[in-house]
Amino acid sequence: MEHIKEALKNIKNVKIGSFNGLLVDYAREINAKVLVRGLRALTDFEYEFQMALTNRKLAENIETIFLMPKEQYSYISSRMIKEIIALKGDVSCFVPPVVKDALIRKAGR
Instruction: Give the pTM.
Output: 0.76
Strand partners, 37: 66
pLDDT at 103 exceeding the cut of 80: yes
Judged by DSSP in three states, 66 sits in strand
pLDDT tens per residue, range 56-83: 999 999 999 999 988 888 888 899 999 9
20 phi-psi bin (left φ>0, alpha ψ -120 to 50, beta other): beta
Position with higher pLDDT, 37 vs 74: 37
Per domain, the residue ranges of the chain are: 23-71, 76-109
Decide: residue 81, CB within 10 A, 0-12 exposed, 13-18 middle, 19+ buried. Answer: middle
Residue 71, pLDDT score: 87
Residue 43, pLDDT score: 80
Judged by DSSP in three states, 24 sits in helix
